[in-house]
A and B are shown apart, each in its own frame.
Chain A
């Protein structure tokens, strides 16, 4: 219909480009505004469990919830804990995922698709089921302990479930594909004649990797790291199911505030603070990157 009408096709293109923005507006910005609004109000018993911001034509906003976040060390501890766990997990993902991605990218053509498929295959099963499966593997009467006991390697079950180890394991297991895929994308795109040139100029394979492959794959490393780190910071299911009550992560605290304490305003303040703490540095990094690239031109 638009073939002979360039204006219509232009409008159509605009519509297509606009859909994601509309989506973001409706399902991200608007809810964020609502949550931000709730974070400024006071908790109360009732439905909804917070006082409306507008009372008798007066705005009743207050920053008390944010102040409380700073007062009670629980929140800061939870946040630092979360960042530490997410950093460690993302680093482990990188160490495991980089060789995987490199192996797939350098595999013969006919092997690449099956290997990539194997990386994303776990997504075909529910995330929750896979985490439950780890419980079955890790618990004291679980598969791993039984096997080790039967082989006589250990005398009594090793406590694995409800430890920090299990949380790290769960996060690394669940998010590994998010590390492998962007790394694969950058490594696969790399011009292999660069490695030949390095070798020709006297670089042994390991030197060529350090001086050519690694620096050129840095964008993939950063992308993969962020794709693991960001969701891992707010992870709730994995620490809840695999961790102990002592593993305090910000996602769990958020859940407790919302559903156990029913303190929506405080929980909202926590959600907003978390978002800003994670997004602000990333936005700054990105702006630095853009500026540097602009300067290079």
Chain B
């Protein structure tokens, strides 16, 4: 797994895919917004499309909803090819970034709008509206108009409206973007609880990696219209398959080097700057040819810094150039003897023992061979 060659593209085995996207592309003029994307999402998943603005994640979401039709490729919902099906005939619903609540209708009418289009009988409709409104704890506000609600309440109306038709998939386009920080954190957990309770497949679009990691069970990292890696949050963080993903999810120390040897599941890499040789454990069966250029990725919290040499296989020396004290932990910016800048995050547990490192001090850096990842892309 260490080199990220895992078959990341299949949904977890037990769940039949509720959505399959096969080599779907969407172009706007010369710009390829979505570029031959393959994706399978299982029933009941909470899936996140993560990427910076302009990476194509929203276009991909709009293709699932039916607002954009693929220029090539197919989109299957519950096994049915819906590539050309208009939005009003797809069994998916969307929570818009702007919420797009109908300003001339009450909360109850907004939520019941989709059911009315279905031709559901009045009494049944009223029951369903009451049910989803209680699900999002808005029963008391059913008769209000959207402009009489707070931002958080509007967001919940949008959510209730999206869930009212019991869609196979609920699409959420940056649903927390308009909320302030406190409310956003609380809503994250409410969304997860709601997803668990309804069993609906959620597909979330976000640029916020923390949000994606908190809520979803699988994440697809997108850039320039392509999916770079798909996997559970832990896998993306611990075993990114490219420098881009390593850098995008959390922070990463990326050390360039060249493979100089390999024995018994341990790869030796000579770093480009400084020339030290470091050892990285890899999974059985994974091998690298001698002479290949690679990047060694070490997460800041997996590195240690100290005044004494550690005596392990991976050791660098350097000087502390900056310290960010965050309370629970401190982040030390260290310039190595080889001229690379790395970050070391250490928990501030031992405030009684020893003097903390200071700026300008010479330090030794070390990490365990199994805590680094070799990246080739």
Residues on A close to B: CB < 8 A? 191, 193-194, 196-204, 207, 211-212, 215-216, 296
In the complex, the answer to whether A204 meets B100 with C-beta atoms within 8 Å is no
Judge if B366 is at the interface, Cβ distance under 8 Å: no
**Chain B positions within 8 Å of A193 at CB level:** 96, 98, 100
In the assembled complex, B161 has its CB within 8 A of some CB on chain A = yes
Specify which chain B residues have a CB less than 8 angstroms from the CB of A296 in the assembled complex: 145
* Contact of B295 with A by CB under 8 A: no
Residues of B within 8 A of A (CB): 65-67, 86-89, 92-94, 96, 98, 100-104, 113-114, 117-118, 145, 161, 165
A196 to B104, CA, bound (A): 16
A201 CB contact (under 8 Å) in B67, B93, B104? B93
* B residues near A202, Cβ cutoff 8 Å: 88-89, 114, 117-118, 165
* Contacting residue for A200 out of B87, B98, B101, B103, CB 8 A: B87
Option from B67, B87, B103 in Cβ contact (under 8 Å) with A216: B103
A-B residue pair count with CB separations less than 8 angstroms: 58
Known: A197-B101, A202-B118. 16 other contacts (CB 8 A): A191-B98, A194-B102, A194-B103, A196-B87, A197-B161, A198-B102, A199-B87, A199-B88, A200-B67, A201-B88, A201-B117, A201-B161, A202-B88, A202-B114, A203-B113, A212-B102
Q: Which of B66, B93, B94, B117 has the most CB of A within 10 A?
A: B117
Within the complex, what minimum Cβ distance (angstroms) separates A16 from chain B?
Answer: 32
B117 touches A194 (CB 8 A): no
Please provide the 6 A-B residue pairs with the shortest distance between their CB atoms, ordered closest to farther.
A201-B114, A202-B117, A197-B100, A193-B100, A199-B87, A203-B117
Residues of A within 8 A of B67 (CB): 196, 199-200
- Chain A residues touching B, majority SS: helix
Contacting pair B88 A200 (CB below 8 A): yes
Q: Indicate which residue in A191, A196, A207, A215 contacts B117 across the interface (CB closer than 8 Å).
A: A207
Q: Is A215 within 8 A of B104, CB to CB?
A: yes
Give the chain B neighbours of A207 by CB distance below 8 A. Answer: 117
Query: CA separation between A200 and B99, bound complex, in Å?
Result: 12
| 22 sampled A-B residue pairs with Cβ under 8 A | A191-B100, A193-B100, A194-B100, A196-B96, A197-B101, A198-B102, A199-B66, A199-B86, A199-B87, A200-B67, A200-B87, A200-B88, A200-B93, A200-B94, A201-B93, A201-B161, A202-B88, A202-B165, A207-B117, A212-B102, A216-B103, A296-B145
| A197 CB contact (under 8 Å) in B86, B102, B145 | B102
Closest to A190 in B: B103
Docked Cα-Cα span, A123 to B104, in Å, equals: 35
Q: How far is the CA of A203 from the CA of B88 in the complex (A)?
A: 6
Identity of the chain A residue whose Cβ is nearest the Cβ of B117 in the assembled complex: A202
Q: Are A201 and B113 in contact (CB under 8 A)?
A: yes
Q: Which residue of A lies closest to B94 (CB)?
A: A200
Cα–Cα, bound, A202→B103 (Å): 18
Report if A200-B65 is in contact (Cβ < 8 Å); known contacts: A193-B98, A212-B102: yes
Q: Which residues of chain A are near B103, meaning CB under 8 Å?
A: 194, 216
- CA–CA, A199 to B89, complex, Å? 9
Q: Across the interface, do A196 and B100 meet the contact criterion of CB distance under 8 Å?
A: yes
Evaluate whether A201 and B98 lie within 8 angstroms (CB atoms) in the complex, with A207-B117, A215-B104, A296-B145 already known.
no
Residue on A with the closest CB to B62?
Answer: A196
Contact residues in B for A198 (Cβ distance below 8 Å): 102, 113
| Interchain CA distance A36-B60 in the complex, whole Å | 69
| A204 nearest CB neighbor, chain B only | B88
B118/A216 in contact, CB under 8 A? no
What CA separation (Å) do A204 and B85 show in the bound complex? 12
Task: Name the A residues within 8 Å of B114 (CB-CB).
Answer: 201-202
A201 to B66, CA, bound (A): 12
CB distance from B132 to the nearest CB of A (A): 13
CA A202 to CA B161, docked complex, whole Å? 12
CA–CA, A207 to B114, complex, Å?
Answer: 11
- CB A211 to nearest CB in B, in angstroms, measures 8
Which A residues are CB-close (under 8 A) to B101?
197
Question: What residues of chain A lie closer than 8 Å to B96, measured between beta carbons?
Answer: 193, 196-197
What is the chain B residue whose CB lies nearest that of A193? Answer: B100
Compute how far the CA of A199 lies from the CA of B92 in the bound complex, rounded to whole angstroms: 11
- Smallest distance from the beta carbon of A127 to chain B beta carbons, Å? 37
**Residue among A191, A193, A194, A202 with the most chain B CB within 10 A?**
A202
* B100: chain A residues within 8 A (beta carbon): 191, 193-194, 196-197
CB-CB nearest in chain B for A296: B145
- In the assembly, what is the distance between CA of A296 and CA of B148, in Å? 9
Chain A residue contacts of B145, Cβ below 8 A: 296
Tell me which residues across on chain B come within 8 A of A201, comparing CB atoms.
Answer: 88, 93, 113-114, 117, 161, 165
CA distance A203 to B98 in the complex (A): 19
Nearest B-chain residue to A216, judged by Cβ: B104
Closest Cβ–Cβ distance, residue A297 to chain B (whole Å)? 8
Cα A267 to Cα B104 in complex, Å, equals: 46
Max chain B Cβ within 10 angstroms of own Cβ: one of A198, A215, A296:
A198
Q: Which residues of B contact A204 (CB under 8 A)?
A: 88
Report how far A86 CA is from B161 CA in the complex, Å.
43
In whole Å, how far is B110's beta carbon from the nearest beta carbon of chain A? 9
| Nearest chain A residue, comparing its CB with the CB of B90 | A200
Complex contacts, A196 vs chain B, CB 8 Å: 67, 87, 94, 96, 100
Cα-based distance from A211 to B94 in the complex (angstroms): 19
Distance, CA A199 to CA B87, complexed state (A): 6
Chain B: minimal CB distance from A193 (Å): 4
Residue of B nearest to A202 (CB): B117
Give the docked Cα–Cα distance between A215 and B102 (Å): 10
**What separation, in Å, do the CA atoms of A207 and B118 have in the docked complex?**
12
How close is B172's CB to chain A, nearest CB, in angstroms?
Answer: 12
Kindly state the separation between the CA atoms of A108 and B324 in the bound complex, as whole angstroms. 51
Across the interface, which residues of A come within 8 angstroms of B92, CB to CB?
Answer: 200
A266 to chain B minimum Cβ distance, whole angstroms, is 47
**Distance in Å: Cβ of A192 to nearest Cβ of chain B:** 9
Within the complex, what minimum Cβ distance (angstroms) separates B108 from chain A?
14
Tell me the complex Cα distance, A204–B93, Å: 15
